Amino acid sequence: MTNIPFYKYQGAGNDFILIDNRNNVYTDLSVDMVKKLCDRRFGIGADGLMLLQNHAGYDFKMDYYNADGNLGSMCGNGGRCIVAFAKELGVIAEETTFLAVDGPHYAKISAKGEWVDLQMIDVDQVSTDGNAFILNTGSPHYVEHVSELESLDVYFKGKEIRNNPTYKLEGINVNFIENKGDHYFVRTFERGVEDETYACGTGVTAVAISMAKQENQTGHHVKPIKVLGGNLRVEFDYDGKLFTNVFLCGPAQLVFTGNIKI
């Protein structure tokens, strides 16, 4: 039986288990172990689990596991939370460059450590599937406009799209968006969690980029976005072809720490 010290973080309600693995103690976590740790009844409960690891040339490396126990693609809110975790551990001060599955990421964190601006990958391809936009912001996303989003059955509709013949094999995150005038309201069904989450960082990034693409809005943009778990902000530059200087900005807060035997 292994005793694992852990930290629980949340970013706009997207919650994660964080483990300091700089000493390479927990490199043999199995799918079943991660799945149990993330279980909300029999474990700690989380949308995902991350290991903070050493990596030459970077402040740290982020290894992200989905709640289903499998290694995942980039997680934006997870990236912001692991930056706050690195600050808590004394690994970084107020700026960092770390390595994730989709490459290097720059981030800056507030002095109190509760607000993180995370640079995401550049995006040069936005395609369509009917009326929906399809793009990759570190993870694959489907973005669809709807009305009356508050009452939409996101679990049913999101699961249906994620498991249709086009996306079933590799999966896709399904985002529903409603334009509220001064902000976008977004709800997301996430693959790997296989449920709606309170926020999705790569998802709101995909939404903001899709809307600029749809409206052909070039220049610098700041997009306020409301999710079930709070408020996020996406900033980027768009020259009509390429989205650069993409930042996902929002809260990242320590919820509690503990030890669990598994």
* Alpha-carbon gap, residue 212 to 192, rounded angstroms: 28
Residues 6+ apart with CB under 8 A from 249: 115, 116, 117, 118, 232, 233, 234, 235
One of 38, 75, 81, 249 is an active-site residue; which one? 75
3-state SS, residue 222: strand
- Could you confirm whether 38 is annotated as catalytic? no
One of 38, 81, 200, 249 is an active-site residue; which one? 200
Q: Are 115 and 252 in contact (CB under 8 A)?
A: yes
- Could you confirm whether 200 is annotated as catalytic? yes
Q: Where are the beta strands (DSSP E) in 45-146?
A: 48-53, 61-66, 95-100, 103-109, 115-119, 126-129, 132-136, 140-145
Cα separation values, 133 from 128, 176, 189, 204, Å? 4, 11, 15, 13
Written as one letter, the residue type at 219 is G
Residues designated as active site: 75, 200
